[in-house]
Amino acid sequence: NIEYVATEFYTQASMGRTMDYLDSSLAGNCTDPPRGGEKAYLSPSAEDMMRQIAYQSLDHLKAIQLSLGSNKSCNRPGIDVSCSRFSRIVNDAMGHTLWPDFDWYKNDYTTLLGAYWFSGLLTKCYTGILDRCEGPATNRLCGSLAAAKARQEMVIRTVLYQNFQHNVYPYKISVAEFTNRLSRYKDKLAGSNGTADEGLWVPSCLGTGGSNSNMFSADSYGLPF
């Protein structure tokens, strides 16, 4: 379900189109159209990046459906990618209600922070189910999906890292602070003690080479969480 929601967000933000418009076969038997999405106000480079991630994510859904075979179907859930949905997540992560409400379609930074949220979740989702996969074909698929999502996550982290000191308009809160809060919230949801994800600015004892800046989210051995 996270894959469906993330893909809908990517397609809406980059193209202003629902995933059903781009490929109606992915909906399965679901007749409830996705709602709440809109075209984001993005720079050409951010729009192109999000568009490429959107199409790759659509292909991932096709690969999952293909792996299920003709005897099984994967039905898309009802999806709401409105700003109000994500603003609640951001408020919980920040520990207070932002004003104005967080709009993940407003600009490059807000949209990339939405992508940061999804890419990290999906990378860990596919990595986490690898040891529960039944059969070599399913194991290969999950491994490939985990690798693809990790690449998406790294691209998104890199762009955000290049701007980590910038404030996210209209707030006086930096990109780095948003990533730190979102990552800690992922840790909380996962029931971990700060070892499931890291933002772009960490204590020097956790950073690579004793640095506070943190492009790579990894443990003390440099391995992904």
63 domain residue, yes or no? yes
CATH of the domain at 81: 1.20.1260
Looking at the domain assignment, is residue 17 inside a domain? yes
CB contact burial 81-105 (16+ within 10 A = b; e otherwise): bbbeebbebbeebbeeeeeeebbbb
Q: For 179-215, what is each residue's pLDDT tens digit?
A: 999 999 988 887 766 567 888 888 777 767 777 777 7
pLDDT reported for residue 144? 94
The answer to the question of residue 95 being in a domain is yes
Residue 118 within any structural domain of the chain: yes
| Residue 188, in any domain of the structure | no
> Is 77 a member of any domain?
yes
Query: Is 13 inside a domain boundary?
Result: yes
pTM, rounded to two decimals: 0.92
Domain extent, residue 92, equals 2-165
Give me the number of domains the chain comprises. Answer: 1
d(CA 60, CA 57): 5
Per the DSSP assignment, residues forming a β-bridge with 201 are: 213
The pLDDT > 90 percentage for the chain reads: 62
For 36, 142, 152, 193, the CA distances from 72, given in Å and listed in that order, are 29, 18, 28, 38
pLDDT tens digit sequence for 107-140:
999 999 999 999 999 998 898 888 788 888 888 9
